[in-house]
Amino acid sequence: MDSEMTLRLERLLEQVARPARYTGGEVNEVKKDPVPGQTRFCFAFPDTYEVAMSHLGMKVLYDAVNREADLSCERVMMPWPDMMDGMKAAGIPLLSLETRTPLSGFDAVGFTLQYEMSYTNILAMLELGGIPLLGADRNETDPVIIAGGPCAFNPEPLAPFIDAFLMGDGEAATPEMLRAIGLCRRSGRSREEVLRCLADVPGVYVPRFYAPQYNENGCLTAFSPAVPGVPAAVRKRVELDLDQAVFPESIPVPFTEAVHDRIVLEIMRGCTRGCRFCQAGMVYRPVRERSTEKLLRLAEKLVASTGYEEMSLSSLSTGDYSGLLELIRGLNERFSEKRVSLSLPSLRIDGELREALKDSAQVKKSGLTLAPEAGTQRLRDVINKGVTEEDLLRTVTEAFLSGWDSVKLYFMIGLPTETDEDLLGIAGLARKVVGCYYALPKGKRARGVKVSVSASTFVPKPFTPFQWEGQDSLEEIRRKQALLRGALNIRGVTFNWHDPELSFLEACFARGDRRLGRVLARAYALGCRLDGWQEHFSFDRWMQAFNEEGIDPAFYASRGRGKDELLPWDFIDIGVTKDYLWLEKRRAENAQTTPDCRQGCEGCGLRRFEGVCRA
């Protein structure tokens, strides 16, 4: 970057809020000097710095790429509107944090797809970075735009904008993709040939090589390769041995506060519980654990390299980790004197939780998070949430006895077969949790109790037994939220709920097809961006975009699907079969539960992946 642009940037940073979002230079930042033969990659997070720096996946891939001598990884995040406007006015492109290189100057730019409502941010970042929005408009010198993450399991709404998607785990696959890009570029091959090489990397989907067909009703009737040799089905990548998989021993420490500003240890990946609304529980199968020995070594190195005083254990189902008690005791032995706080997010209600709570009480208290998901046992059986009211009340009682005074309860509204009785059951459960606190003698409990009830709106997701279900109408969701607000007027209880319009659009893009790319582009042109931030979200502009493109959003969000309908993501092979998901849907309709597959194989189909499933 020339001196004139540097001066303009420095002047701009004096005028915007939180300039530390854009300066880089953090402790443990990796800055590599470009060398001949090096493939330069920029990891792009389509949300603000504070959100990005809380994301474990970015830290893992940052480390995985930068430990390779022939590769380099830098970072870029979505600017806040004041910075965006200032950059445009000053003629400053979107720059990486490490070397202030324009986005257009990299060999590849990779977006992580964590949330459907960040998609307009991707377009904003491409435009700010000087990269054509549409893959078809990019020339030979433009970066290759890649994407991965949970939302990549339905890539079609972003197909016009992303050159290649990675399905599944990225620790080994990302360097493979970057080497394929670098080798092709250094040998002078065309952009089309680069993409053809990427299509040969296992787990990679290149949308321009596939063609959808639709019938007069708008339903997808065919989806097949448009060029010879690309796979008809794209099989996800799986890192089988997490002890051997890359995990960082040091991470960049932000200058400004992040949403979750702490060490995060991923203790396991995948889940065997089979909650029927949960996409992650299906697409990240099978369960793989890191050993307690490996985790304790990582924890020691991360505490030493970062100075953080809080640590979180991360997984889909932390309470199912086979070495949980041993790990907590080991962490307490090493860090209790340093007052490193241990947080146990998404902890299940059952299992050996009582012992875990007693051990974790030796360090500073963090809020206890529990996810009953539904207010009645009938509905918990429908969604296959293997938790009872007795489990919950026993857990919170033990937590209160151990000194906890704050409990977060997560629920979902709009679930298939839900009734008002199920909704009122949420309030009844919250009232009983508060009652558990007041039932204890004053000397046996903390001062005051805080019970936070959060109710998200059910969004049918690909690769779940509920992928065929329609979402409740906006009017019905608003009615249910109002019913809960009245019922949860309880001392010690606060109620939080999600914007139903956001959940409606999330459902559209979660189950959308390639035609939604037109809506996305139009919404961005109308000014939609930072849609996940309430102050910037405009439902009216989104509806205008749908209307102008002649597309009915209810076709995607509210419409139920039949068993034989071809779904936009059916070409992706996650291991779990469509027949198994349909079987689970039928079981849900009968409120029939399915056991944890660690208790015996239920035939989900994952065993087709040789060496993957050890159930």
Domain ranges of the chain: 3-235, 263-498
Quote the pLDDT of residue 346.
46
Q: 27-41 burial string, b = 16+ CB within 10 Å, else e?
A: ebbbebeeeeebbbb
2 contacts: CB under 8 Å, gap ≥ 6:
none
> In which order are the strands placed within the sheet that holds 108-112?
71-77, 39-45, 108-112, 144-148, 164-166, 204-205
Pick the CATH number of 3-235 from 3.40.50.720, 3.30.565.10, 3.40.50.2300, 1.10.10.10: 3.40.50.2300
Quote the pLDDT of residue 220.
97
Quote the pLDDT of residue 340.
83
What 3-state class would DSSP assign to 142? coil
Write the DSSP symbol of residue 136: G
User: What tokens does 454 get?
Assistant: 């959060």
Nearest-CA neighbor of 178 among 35, 76, 38? Answer: 38
CATH class as words, domain 263-498: alpha beta
Quote the pLDDT of residue 403.
77
Quote the pLDDT of residue 349.
43
Consecutive 10-residue runs of the chain (615 residues): their mean pLDDT? 85 94 95 92 97 95 97 98 96 96 97 97 98 97 98 98 98 98 96 97 98 96 96 96 96 84 92 94 95 96 91 87 89 83 58 54 61 96 93 86 86 97 97 93 83 97 98 97 96 94 98 98 98 95 98 97 97 97 97 90 86 69
Amino acid identity for residue 531 in this structure: D
User: What tokens does 28 get?
Assistant: 């443990």
Nearest-CA neighbor of 163 among 189, 192, 121? Answer: 192
Residue 165: other Cβ atoms inside 10 A: 28
What 3-state class would DSSP assign to 314? strand
CA distance 65 to 160: 26
User: Helices 81-90 and 3-13: crossing angle, nearest 10°?
Assistant: 150
CA distance 246 to 404: 35
* Beta carbons of 251 and 27 less than 8 angstroms apart: no
Quote the pLDDT of residue 312.
87
Quote the pLDDT of residue 342.
80
